């Protein structure tokens, strides 16, 4: 081989090696050797509910696989707005994450006159996590055992019955608003910071009824402490097949599902986004984790960031209509 050709070949090899090394260095730099410090997952409700359960499942799994502490922080208040605002204003470095909810990303934008964050633009979608039916449970002393009897009682006593939820703007609040509209009744909303505060008031009779995640209230239902009247999905839940749907009881098409996602601040690097998505899928696709969540009425369904973005768009349209029909508008 002529010397000139040999030199050209050596130059080409050196160039390719340098380019590959430089690309690797850029990828590593974009990830910042992620993770090399504790990760925190923000839950916008009190401990014990579905978002908290999912956060702790992820934290337990990731600590083992990543070798860094994964901390769960509960920041309840204002229908999830306090915790969501905290994450929206955090550095997009993969160390502060959010358990997103249908309330934060699909309801609050229409419900609140002003938000300190943008429910879509201020976040990077990672993955859908899971969904659960909402369930209507009532104080056993109310004397009703089905949805028809409750509607008749509410019509006979307009604005005298109350329904609780874990916060203004949550899917549980909106389930009640949708119920009022479809059933043609007037019941007063009593918001709480979380289910931990609302359940004692339901059991004691301070409120008449409560919309809750089925995954959270199932133990109380099974223990006979409250009466379950119906789930808000179109089909009965495999975790509680004896509880009929609203649709079965004369409200056809009634559907209000609570869903949860993993989100990060906007402008997260694609490399970290991809790795977090992979970690989430690995955790939720684990047979042990899946069976544990299903037994608690949480249906895991991890997917791509693009699928999550499409869901948020569709759900925002749906719940904006409900908010408009209810006439509800709030200041943060």
d(CA 244, CA 237): 9
For 160-217, what is each residue's pLDDT tens digit?
999 998 877 788 888 999 999 999 999 999 988 777 788 899 999 999 999 998 988 8
pLDDT confidence bin for 113, thresholds 50/70/90: confident
The arithmetic mean of pLDDT across residues 80-88, rounded, is 96
- Give the residue with greater pLDDT, 325 vs 313: 313
Based on the number of CB atoms within 10 Å of its own CB, is 148 exposed (0-12), middle (13-18) or buried (19 or more)?
middle
The arithmetic mean of pLDDT across residues 90-108, rounded, is 96
Closest CA to 191 of 215, 204, 203, 207: 207
Q: Is 70 exceeded by the pLDDT of residue 314?
A: yes
- pLDDT for 323 equals 86
Q: Is 50 exceeded by the pLDDT of residue 27?
A: no
- Give the residue with greater pLDDT, 325 vs 138: 138
Using alpha carbons only, what angle is made at residue 31 by residues 29 and 35, rounded to the nearest 5 degrees? 125
Average pLDDT, the chain: 89
Closest CA to 127 of 284, 323, 320: 284
For 87-115, give one letter per residue: b (16+ CB within 10 A) or e: bbebebbbbbbbbbbbbbbbbbbbbbeeb
- pLDDT for 326 equals 74
d(CA 46, CA 226): 21
* Domains of the chain with bracketed CATH: 39-132+258-326 (3.40.190.150), 133-249 (3.40.190.10)
Instruction: For residue 167, give every residue at least 6 positions away whose Cβ sits within 8 Å of its Cβ, in sequence order, or none.
Output: 45, 76, 77, 78, 79, 80, 103, 173, 191, 192, 193, 194
- pLDDT for 48 equals 86
- pLDDT for 192 equals 87
How far is CA 14 from each of CA 4, 10, 24, 28, rounded to the nearest angstrom?
A: 15, 6, 15, 21
Alpha helices by DSSP H, listed for the chain, are: 3-31, 50-66, 81-88, 102, 108-111, 147-156, 171-183, 195-204, 214-222, 270-284, 287-295, 305-326
The arithmetic mean of pLDDT across residues 286-307, rounded, is 95
Q: Is 70 exceeded by the pLDDT of residue 1?
A: no
Under DSSP, the state recorded for 193 is S
pTM of the entire predicted model: 0.81
Q: Is 80 exceeded by the pLDDT of residue 159?
A: yes
pLDDT confidence bin for 325, thresholds 50/70/90: confident
Q: Is 70 exceeded by the pLDDT of residue 23?
A: no
């Amino acid at each position: 081989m002529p010397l000139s050709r040999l030199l050209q070949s050596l130059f080409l090899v050196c160039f390719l090696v340098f380019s590959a090394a430089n690309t690797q260095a850029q990828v590593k730099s974009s990830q910042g050797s992620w993770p090399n410090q504790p990760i925190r997952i923000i839950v916008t409700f009190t401990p014990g509910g579905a978002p908290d359960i999912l956060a702790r499942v992820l934290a337990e799994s990731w600590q083992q696989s990543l070798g860094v502490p994964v901390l769960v922080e509960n920041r309840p208040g204002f229908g999830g707005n306090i915790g969501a605002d905290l994450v929206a204003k955090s550095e997009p470095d993969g160390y502060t994450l959010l358990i997103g909810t249908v309330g934060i990303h699909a309801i609050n934008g229409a419900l609140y006159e002003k938000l300190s964050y943008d429910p879509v633009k201020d976040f990077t979608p990672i993955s859908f996590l899971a969904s659960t039916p909402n369930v209507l449970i009532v104080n056993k002393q109310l004397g009703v055992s089905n949805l028809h009897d409750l509607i008749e009682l509410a019509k006979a006593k307009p604005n005298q019955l109350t329904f609780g939820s874990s916060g203004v703007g949550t899917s549980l609040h909106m389930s009640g608003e949708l119920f009022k509209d479809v059933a043609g009744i007037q019941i007063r909303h009593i918001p709480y910071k979380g289910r931990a505060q609302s359940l004692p008031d339901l059991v004691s009779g301070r409120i008449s009824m409560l919309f809750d995640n089925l995954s959270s209230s199932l133990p109380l239902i099974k223990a006979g402490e409250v009466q379950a009247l119906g789930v808000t999905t179109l089909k009965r839940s495999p975790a509680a097949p004896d509880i009929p749907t609203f649709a079965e009881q004369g409200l056809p098409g009634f559907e209000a599902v609570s869903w949860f996602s993993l989100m990060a601040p906007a402008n997260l690097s694609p490399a970290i986004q991809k790795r977090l998505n992979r970690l989430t899928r690995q955790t939720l696709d684990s047979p042990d984790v899946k069976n544990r969540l299903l037994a608690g009425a949480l249906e895991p369904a991890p997917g791509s960031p693009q699928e999550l973005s499409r869901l948020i768009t569709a759900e925002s349209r749906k719940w904006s209509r409900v908010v408009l029909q209810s006439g509800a508008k709030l200041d943060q």
